[in-house]
Structure formats: C-alpha cells, structure tokens
Amino acid sequence: MRKYFYLIVVLAAVFTTAEAQTSTADSVTQYARENRLNIGGYGEMTYTRNFYSDNQYRYRNPKKYKDDPSNGRFDIPHAVIYLNYDFGKGWKMGTEIEFEHTGTGSAIEIEADEGGEYEHEIEKGGEVELEQFWIEKTFAPWANLRLGHIVVPVGLNNARHEPLNFFTVYRPEGESTILPSTWHDTGISFWGVNDQFRYEAQMVAGLNAMLFSRDGWAHGAAGSAYEFKPANKYGFAVRGDWYATTGLRVGLSGYAGQAMHNTYPNEMEGNGKTYNKVKANVFIGSVDVTLGRWNWILRGQADYGYISDTPLLNAAKLNAPKSSPYNKTSVGKNAISLGVEAGYDVFSQIAKLHNDRQKLYVFGRYEYYNSYVPTHGQSNYDFTKRSCIAAGVNYFPLPQVAVKAHWSNRLLKSQYNNEPSINLGVAYQGFFL
C-alpha cells in the first residue's frame, strides 16, 4: 500500500533540511534511483491478549459478559510486496500486492454489536489484494501524472500506513475504523514537489453509500463485492504536505463525492424510483502533523466526515434484498477521529547503542473516535463513542526492523465494559533490491 515510502525507515524520519524532507515524500520508485528495478515490502506479525469478553452480544447485555475469561489471538495483519520499474524517459510503473491475515477467499465476521450477526466480509477476491497498479509519467519534479490503481492519501494513516510509521502494534484505531484502510481505488492522480511542499489531486471511483455502516462509517465503502468496481459516480481527493522546518511536516487532505447510485446493478436511479433523488454526498476533511527531532517523535491527526441524506439512505439499506452484499446497519451523518502519540528514544542517551543505530522508543497514545454520529430522529448507539489509551515500547535493533509491545485500554461509555489488552508484534519495512 505504498504511495509514500521512506527509505529512512527509522520510525518518523528526522531530516536534515526541509528540502530533504520533501524529496523523501515522493513515490516508492524514488528511493533507489540508481536501480531501474526495485523490490521491497513490509509486514507485521502480532499477538494480542484481550482481557474482555469476545462475545458478539457484549454490548447488548454488558453485565452478563463482564466476568468472561480473557482471549488471545495470533495474526499477520499485512504482508506486502512492492515491485516497481523505471522504463526511462520519465515513465515508471508500480505494483503492490498485499496478503492480509494469511488467508485467501472470503472470511466470516461476527458483528460485535447488539445484533451479533454472522456475515461474509466484503473483500473482492478474498484477502489477497492488488492495492497498487499504476503507470506514471514524470514531466518535471512539480508535475507527475499517475494512472491506475492508487492509494487515496486522505488522513495520516492512509498517507503513511507502513508499520514503522506508527508506534502501536496495530494501525491507529480511530482512522482505521472510520476510513478505508488502506484506501486504494482506480483513477488518475496529479502530484508534484515544489520547494517545501508536496501536493496531489486525484479523481477516483466513488464510494458506495450502501457499504457505509454504523460501526465503520466509510471503512468498507471503497470495496466491491464484484469482479469489477462500479464507477457510476466519482470521488475527488486532495492532499498537501508542508515540510516547514527540520523534522516537521504538516498535512491537509480531503475528499468529496456522491456515494449513492454507485453500485451494481444501478436499480435505484431512474424515473419514478423511490431513492432517485438521494445523493448521499460525502465530505471528509483531515489535518495531520508529524515531528521528528531532539530524539522525540510526535504524531497527531484529526478527521471529520459527513454524509448527506442519511434517513433515506438508511431506508434504502433496510429495503435492499436480503441476499445483497450491502451493509444493513444504520449510518450516522457524521464520523470523527482524533489521535495523538509521542515517543522518546531512550537509547539516544546511551552512546554505544546510539552509535550502533539501535533505538528504543517509549511512547504513549490517546485516541477518541465515533463511527456513528446520528442525525435528528435516528437511534443512538453509545458503544460507538470510544476513547483509547496506550503505552508501550518500540525497539529497533536495525532501522528496518521493529519489535513492538504495548498495553491499551478501550474506554467506552459507563454502561459498557472497558476493553483492555496487551499486544506484541514484530514488523519490518524496506527495499530488498
């Protein structure tokens, strides 16, 4: 999943000049310019022990499941291979193949809500995905045109989602809940670098309003249950990054597009159709910042989403055929995610370890997110309002490898049980050729 991939993979790059920072924000093919062929990737291996009930009805009857035993799980969330080639004369190609959770084919999920339904996960082709496949022409550093399947860099997580770009064992929870993660779609992108700025504008296939949900808002809306991606409507994304000074980057990103009538078959649009005038226009805004300096790394982001016509959209979802691949849960008109984390490299104070390029970050993180902010008259589900706190360590024996451990606690409204856990992981990230 890589549009921005740092050759300097030490957690959050501490660059020597603003110009150097800007150059490292280019595409994945920019990092080994002496080679026409580049092969790389990243991966994560994790273990979690959850000290709360994993019963799918735990939000319906919290007292009943308060004293349930703990549960554990192993996982390989992501294993990714990059293959990129420079044809010359400004022409490049890039591909990214991702294996998620070690499997292929469709998967069964249990909704952890008051319904507790078993459902097939909507992921075309199972859990092996082609997340990038594009051809690019470079006219100048400030003018690059990319066509194909690309990453949509809205939010900090989508723009910089490799495992060495966040402290926690898993990707930050809030953004990964309310936005597609990683958000990738087919379209066209214009991007460039000019002095201390990197900018990008995209036109891609639109989101699908029928795949918005209460527990994930737009998380599943970029997917498709078919062998193709319906593109009756289009979405527009923009991103700008300002490399203000040494180690400091500030980013703004956003998305706009109509999400209704963007499915197959397109039966809800036409003369006399009940939902013909429903647009479900989606607007997403995000601001994020990273600072890597003085042996500190700080990251923060804030995301806000809006979708129109939610009463009629929810009616359309409820009236969809039972056999359809749509998500039947209600959609809130808004979703929000706020997150901040900070870590200090304690090995920076030990000369031998610092000179050996080893690092040990001790970090803390706080998040608040809500995937379902209802409009007037909609039901309220308080379990979608969550705060998360986390504390842990990241050990880097090498710049490309991290051993991670953290304790976290998901804090819900008082009528529900909090959800603490311990998480361990090993991650790598780099180019092999």
Domain ranges of the chain: 18-431
User: Which residue would you say has higher pLDDT here, 130 or 74?
Assistant: 74
| Confidence check: pLDDT of 4 > 90 | no
Mean pLDDT, the chain, whole residue set: 85
CA 156 vs CA 193, 248, 298: distances in Å: 18, 14, 13
CA dihedral 364, 368, 369, 374 (to 10 degrees): 170
| Model pLDDT for residues 146-163, shown as the tens digit of each residue | 999 999 999 999 999 899
Sign (positive or negative) of CA dihedral 312, 314, 319, 320: positive
CA 272 vs CA 202, 275, 276, 277, 405: distances in Å: 34, 9, 7, 10, 57
* Residue 152 contacts residue 184 (beta carbons within 8 Å): yes
Sign (positive or negative) of CA dihedral 375, 377, 378, 380: positive
CA 422 vs CA 11, 52, 166: distances in Å: 21, 11, 17
Tell the residue number behind the tokens 């995610």, with chain if given. Answer: 337
Highest mean pLDDT of the ranges 13-22, 63-72, 310-319 = 63-72
| Model pLDDT for residues 356-407, shown as the tens digit of each residue | 999 999 999 999 999 999 988 788 888 999 999 999 999 999 999 999 999 9
What number is the average pLDDT over the span 347-364? 95
Q: Retrieve residue 20's tokens.
A: 């150097």
Q: Retrieve residue 197's tokens.
A: 């700025």
Q: Please state which of the ranges 163-172, 222-231, 331-340 shows the lowest mean pLDDT.
A: 222-231
* Residue 238 contacts residue 251 (beta carbons within 8 Å): no
* Residue 251 contacts residue 289 (beta carbons within 8 Å): yes
| Residues present in the chain in total | 433
Q: Where are the alpha helices (DSSP H) in 196-324?
A: 310-318
Based on DSSP, count helices (H) and strands (E) in the chain, helices before strands: 5, 19
Q: Is 67 exposed, middle or buried (0-12, 13-18, 19+ CB in 10 A)?
A: exposed
Work out the pLDDT band at 126, boundaries 50, 70, 90.
very low
CA dihedral 83, 86, 91, 96 (to 10 degrees): 10
Distance CA 185, CA 203 (A): 10
Secondary structure of the chain: what % helix, strand, coil (to 5)?
10, 45, 40
**If DSSP codes are grouped into helix, strand and coil, which group holds residue 142?**
coil
CA dihedral 184, 190, 191, 194 (to 10 degrees): -170
* pLDDT, position 317: 87
Q: Is 76 exposed, middle or buried (0-12, 13-18, 19+ CB in 10 A)?
A: middle
159 sits in which H/E element = helix 156-159
Work out the pLDDT band at 19, boundaries 50, 70, 90.
very low
Work out the pLDDT band at 271, boundaries 50, 70, 90.
low
**At CA 3, angle to CA 143 and CA 217, rounded to 5?**
115
388's torsion region: left (phi>0), alpha (psi -120 to 50) or beta? Answer: beta
User: Which residue would you say has higher pLDDT here, 105 or 17?
Assistant: 105
Instruction: Find the distance separating the first CA and the last CA of the chain, reported in whole Å.
Output: 18
Distance CA 390, CA 345 (A): 17
**DSSP character at residue 432:** -
Work out the pLDDT band at 11, boundaries 50, 70, 90.
very low
What are the backbone angles phi and psi of residue 97, rounded to the nearest 5°?
A: -115, 130
* pLDDT, position 86: 92
Tell the residue number behind the tokens 């990129």, with chain if given. Answer: 84
| Model pLDDT for residues 43-96, shown as the tens digit of each residue | 999 999 999 999 888 998 899 999 999 999 999 999 999 999 999 999 999 999
What number is the average pLDDT over the span 167-179? 95
| Confidence check: pLDDT of 114 > 90 | no
| Confidence check: pLDDT of 109 > 60 | no
Share of the chain above pLDDT 90, in %: 66
Distance CA 153, CA 132 (A): 13
Distance CA 173, CA 265 (A): 33
* Residue 176 contacts residue 388 (beta carbons within 8 Å): no
* pLDDT, position 431: 85
Tell the residue number behind the tokens 């026409």, with chain if given. Answer: 36
Tell the residue number behind the tokens 């003369």, with chain if given. Answer: 271
* Residue 75 contacts residue 49 (beta carbons within 8 Å): no
Distance CA 148, CA 365 (A): 36
Query: 334-345 and 91-99 as β-strands: parallel, antiparallel, unpaired?
Result: unpaired
Domain 18-431: give its CATH architecture: Beta Barrel (2.40)
What are the backbone angles phi and psi of residue 125, rounded to the nearest 5°?
A: 75, 15
CA 108 vs CA 121, 211, 286, 394: distances in Å: 6, 16, 32, 32
Q: Where are the alpha helices (DSSP H) in 228-334?
A: 310-318
